[in-house]
Amino acid sequence: MLCIKHHSTDPYFNIATDEYIFRHLKEDCFMLWRNDNAIIVGKHQNTLAEINLDYVKEKDIKVVRRLSGGGAVYHDLGNLNFSFTRTGDTEEMVDFQRYTKPIIDVLKTLGVDAKFEGRNDLTIEGKKFSGNAEHVVKNKILHHGTLLFSSEVTDISGALKVNPLKYKGRGVKSVPNRVTNISEHLKEKITLDEFTDKVMDYITSTFADARMYEFTPEDLKVIQKLRDEKYSTWEWNFGYSPDYDFKQGARTSGGTIEMNMNVSKGIIRDVKITGDFFHIKDIEVIERALENIKHEEQAIRQALNQFDLSQYFNNITQDDLVAIMF
């Protein structure tokens, strides 16, 4: 088994790396890695329904869709991620406890009573510190999980807090959990780097065929291409979302306004704007201009820029309209 300490903290590059070790490295792998501030959404989720967009923009948090299903998770440099790839018999592939047991064993050596609970979580004293997800193709599995060590819990709740009434669709919704950091439960304090070493040392000493591996220039070139052409794109991270209906209203200085939209593959298909605002010209032309464009701020602003909005919405600005659409 190849054991990899991955040093990049670029979320786009790292999620691409996960796919690379799964699809391109024939040997089984174990990898430890960290992301700078990012929300990682499950493959089948509606991205906009999982994130607090204003908070994400303010904090410059990257948003990346992963290969596996499950719910959205927040990553920062206080969070350690681990990935296993393994080839075996199909019927034994999906086994969350198999891949999380090494983590529980390491924590036991540190005096921490961690447990596997529910469908895919690790907990300490009933609070979640690790979420796990898996992706299976034929007889190969990618299992990856988070390990909250010293993460900013405020950012976790802030980045993932979203109004559930805005979005109605078929996407898999995340379930909020009470969370905790591993560092809060250690009898003797250690750094995240020291904890990382302990996890890797356990893996290399437990698996007979384990050996350290460094990515080659050829490996990194393929990963970079995957990052640039897939994992850093709006089409994958937002456009891949399942179809959904969006509804949100607000009170502005020009009156109340409500935006109703049907969105398919990230593209706005139908728009209806209602409210008690005043206007001179018929707003239907605005509704039609917003159809068949991305549900994305820049695309919406570009569509609205062609109009003198004061003729359609008395005392309601472009910023007001854009804010209501997210």
The CATH number that applies at residue 266 is: 3.30.390.50
User: Do 251 and 165 belong together in one domain?
Assistant: no
Q: Which residues does the chain have with pLDDT short of 50? A: none
User: Do 159 and 38 belong together in one domain?
Assistant: yes
**β-bridge mates for residue 30, sequence order:** 3, 84
Of 237, 259, 279, which marks where a domain is finished? 237
User: Do 192 and 213 belong together in one domain?
Assistant: yes
User: Do 189 and 266 belong together in one domain?
Assistant: no
pLDDT at 181: 96
pLDDT at 157: 80
User: Do 252 and 226 belong together in one domain?
Assistant: no
User: Do 283 and 143 belong together in one domain?
Assistant: no
User: Do 278 and 198 belong together in one domain?
Assistant: no
Of 183, 210, 237, which marks where a domain is finished? 237
User: Do 231 and 143 belong together in one domain?
Assistant: yes
Give the total number of structural domains in the chain: 2
pLDDT at 146: 96
Find how far residue 29's CA is from the centre of its chain.
22
pLDDT at 170: 55
46: domain CATH number is: 3.30.930.10
User: Do 203 and 262 belong together in one domain?
Assistant: no
User: Do 273 and 151 belong together in one domain?
Assistant: no
User: Do 184 and 315 belong together in one domain?
Assistant: no
User: Do 152 and 60 belong together in one domain?
Assistant: yes
Q: What's the CA gap between 326 and 63, in Å, rounded?
A: 15
Predicted model pTM: 0.85
Residue 53 belongs to what domain range?
2-237
Tokens 């979203």, residue located: 162
Of 237, 266, 282, which marks where a domain is finished? 237
